Structure 1
Amino acid sequence: MTAVPQDRLPLAVTMGEPAGIGGEIAAKAWAARRDDGVPPFVLLDDPDRLRALAARIGLSVPVQAVGSAGEAVSVFDNALPVLPLALAAPVVSGRPDPANGAAVINSIDRAVDLVRGGQAAAVVTNPIQKSALYAAGFRHPGHTEYLAHLVGLTSEPVMMLAARDLRVVPVTIHVSLRDAVKQLTTEAIVHAGRVTAAGLARDFGIEKPRLAVAALNPHAGEDGTMGREEIDIIAPAVAALRAEGIDASGPRPSDTLFHAVARGTFDAALCMYHDQALIPLKTIDFDTGVNITLGLPFVRTSPDHGTALDIAGTGKAGASSLIEAMKTADLMARIRASRPK
């Protein structure tokens, strides 16, 4: 198959949970393509269900089935291009059906194949409903782990969240606070720092990334009087990163790490647990945060929200986070493609 020229590669956008808001926000992103500078993309979904959805919510979006990514680029100005996928069961908004789990997974697989085959610039994933996929036999904790499995990664990729002027990386992610403290290790922090620094250089063009490493305890532990994690776990990780030539600083107290002046002193913050990273990011920019996976052999982004089953099919879902994910993926892919191999 002949590859599409690099400057004409579309993004490959996955279906996500069909009973959620993925189809709606993808259609709204296409409708905003001129006003918001949305780059060309192809959606891997069921064209008929998208047409019905657009009609139901009163959205004037022509849907055109295409046979290739190259064709998607040629029709993007005039219609939402869709590489057709078959759904096993009718879609009821707000009510995920495990019978459609295979189509959701197939959408991810095909998006990755397009990128790895030189037919698309990057993967942008719509949110999935993991409980429905688990019921269909899915055996991975989420998108990130599945993507790592698809490409045979031997080391964990890293999740980075980006907003208007802040990038954060949670070292521990979807676990309780109690378990996050138990799981926190020097090795995990060093791995997150290495992958983050490499990703900032490769995909954002930051040649000498600056990493701020957050403390776990109040006041960075107050010399051990409020906990020894800073002394025993975090400081050794910072030292190890610096020994590798990475500009890492810390442990830095998290209550003073995210104000405007402090944000100007680093390119990304390594945070010790989920909410330490997500609270400042969503406070600063709730609507346009982007989920980025670092450490994959291709660019992958996602909107920083879930399937929103409670409003699916009502026309209320906003596309701003997906649009930002698309624009970020396009920029990252262009920077990556421009770097020496």
Structure 2
Amino acid sequence: MSTPRIAITVGEPAGIGPELCTALQPGQHAARLILLGDKPLLQARARQTGSTVQLVDYAPETQPAPDSLEVLHIPLAAPCVAGQLDQANAPQVLALLDRAVAGCQSGEFAAMVTAPLHKGIIRDAGYDRFTGHTEYLAELTDTPQVVMLLAGRCDAVKPGYALRVALATTHLPLREVADAITPASLTQTLRILHADLQHKFGLAQPTILVAGLNPHAGEGGHLGREELDTLIPVLESLRLEGMRLVGPLPADTLFNPPILAQGDAVLAMYHDQGLPVLKHATFGQGINLTLGLPLIRTSVDHGTALDLAGTGRADGGSLVAAVDLAITLAANQAQRAG
């Protein structure tokens, strides 16, 4: 493909995803942007929020006008009102992901970008095993393990610094986290993170800062033995393979600028250990990237914001950043393949 096609799933129809998508400026991106969603909904939300973008039907072999967004129409099951969730539309939200993944796997799309969905309404609709985009995409692609990484610019560390935070575990209750961090899972997580920092971000020899699980990184076993029994042996083993790994470090001091400046990415042990810091530093401009998949997937760093849906006040900076990163990673991949 001379001009890459980027599939953008609009997410929860009652949330801010549809209006963020229709606020995109296609002429500012070096790619064809294809919105996967219900076209009448997107047209209505564009009118509601004052967007003047031209929405045209997606035709794979036809080059659209440069100022238009293409729509691959996947209909809703029930009418949608901004801010009001409806379980009936949960299957359509998942169908968007199914279609985007199929297109990436076939080569139709160079990458996929996901606007936020609402995990609760999908589970309420009967999809009890659904825990989030990351896990669903792993299941769709038969990927045994993936790694969630969030990234954003953080000038507090140094001008232009890219703060990258990956997670050893994702959407788990806190009481299950320690048992989920096994030598095998931690080893694979670090290998995936290391490989994608090299292959996706072009870092020849990345340095990864690894957080401890317990306060003060276990304090020599006095505050938990996970560091002694799992983390330290895994890090020592992978260092012998040539990885640059620092830690385990106490998480309460790891995120200070002088320490962050020594690394290219942080591996946090659980969701709310690493992401509050990243979102505080980069919220509105952060990007969610799933590592380890056989395709490129980026996403926003925020939720559906039902209270803002339909108002036109939602900040689209994170979606724009996610689209730009998807295009960059797709170009890097095409260059390597060529």
Query: Shared topology, TM-score over 0.5?
Result: yes
Corresponding residue of 2:157: none
Is 2:301 the counterpart of 1:318?
Answer: no
Q: How does 1:241-260 map to 2 (within 5 A)?
A: 241-260=238-257
Q: For 1:24, which of 5, 19, 34 is the aligned residue?
A: 19
Corresponding residue of 2:8: 13
Q: How does 1:297-312 map to 2 (within 5 A)?
A: 297-312=294-309
Corresponding residue of 1:111: 100
Q: For 1:336, which of 309, 333, 338 is the aligned residue?
A: 333
Once residues 179 and 101 of structure 2 are traced to their aligned partners in structure 1, the CA distance between those partners, rounded to angstroms, is: 34
Q: Name the SS of the counterpart of 1:41 in structure 2.
A: strand
Corresponding residue of 2:231: 234
Q: Is the 8 A contact 1:28 1:319 kept in 2?
A: yes
Once residues 76 and 209 of structure 1 are traced to their aligned partners in structure 2, the CA distance between those partners, rounded to angstroms, is: 41
Q: Is the 8 A contact 2:132 2:171 kept in 1?
A: no
Distance 1:289 1:76, change over 3 A: farther
Q: Is the 8 A contact 1:40 1:76 kept in 2?
A: no
Once residues 311 and 328 of structure 1 are traced to their aligned partners in structure 2, the CA distance between those partners, rounded to angstroms, is: 25
Q: Name the SS of the counterpart of 1:16 in structure 2.
A: coil
Amino acid at match of 1:100: N
Q: Is the 8 A contact 1:160 1:169 kept in 2?
A: yes
For structure 2, list consecutive stretches of 5 or more residues without a partner in the other structure.
154-161
Q: Name the stretch that deviates more: 304-313 or 126-135.
A: 126-135
Distance 1:299 1:75, change over 3 A: same
Once residues 123 and 35 of structure 2 are traced to their aligned partners in structure 1, the CA distance between those partners, rounded to angstroms, is: 24
Shift of residue 219, structure 1, vs aligned partner: 3.0
TM-score normalised per structure 1:
0.90
Once residues 132 and 215 of structure 2 are traced to their aligned partners in structure 1, the CA distance between those partners, rounded to angstroms, is: 31
Corresponding residue of 1:84: 73
Q: Is the 8 A contact 1:39 1:326 kept in 2?
A: no
Q: Name the SS of the counterpart of 1:204 in structure 2.
A: coil
Distance 1:312 1:48, change over 3 A: same
Amino acid at match of 2:69: L
Shift of residue 320, structure 1, vs aligned partner: 0.5
Amino acid at match of 2:198: A
Is 2:177 the counterpart of 1:185?
Answer: no
Alignment coverage as a number of residue pairs? 329
Shift of residue 66, structure 1, vs aligned partner: 2.1
Runs of 4+ in 1 over 3 A off after TM superposition: 37-40
Once residues 156 and 338 of structure 1 are traced to their aligned partners in structure 2, the CA distance between those partners, rounded to angstroms, is: 26
Amino acid at match of 1:258: F
Shift of residue 38, structure 1, vs aligned partner: 6.8
Q: Name the stretch that deviates more: 200-209 or 222-231.
A: 222-231
Distance 1:76 1:107, change over 3 A: farther
Shift of residue 55, structure 1, vs aligned partner: 1.1
Distance 1:76 1:170, change over 3 A: farther
Amino acid at match of 1:173: T
Shift of residue 151, structure 1, vs aligned partner: 1.8
Q: Name the stretch that deviates more: 204-213 or 257-266.
A: 257-266
Deviations 1:185-217 (A, max 9, x none): 232221210110111112111122211111223
Deviations 1:213-250 (A, max 9, x none): 11223333332233322212211121122133222121
Shift of residue 311, structure 1, vs aligned partner: 1.3
Q: How does 1:1-341 map to 2 (within 5 A)?
A: 5=1, 7-30=2-25, 33-34=27-28, 37=29, 39-68=31-60, 70-71=61-62, 74-75=63-64, 77-138=66-127, 139-153=129-143, 155-164=144-153, 165-340=162-337
Once residues 180 and 106 of structure 2 are traced to their aligned partners in structure 1, the CA distance between those partners, rounded to angstroms, is: 37
Amino acid at match of 2:134: T
Q: Is the 8 A contact 1:41 1:76 kept in 2?
A: no
Distance 1:205 1:191, change over 3 A: same
Deviations 1:255-304 (A, max 9, x none): 33222222221111111121221122112211111111011110001101
Amino acid at match of 1:113: A
TM-score normalised per structure 2:
0.91
Q: Name the stretch that deviates more: 270-279 or 238-247.
A: 238-247
Q: Name the stretch that deviates more: 212-221 or 116-125.
A: 212-221
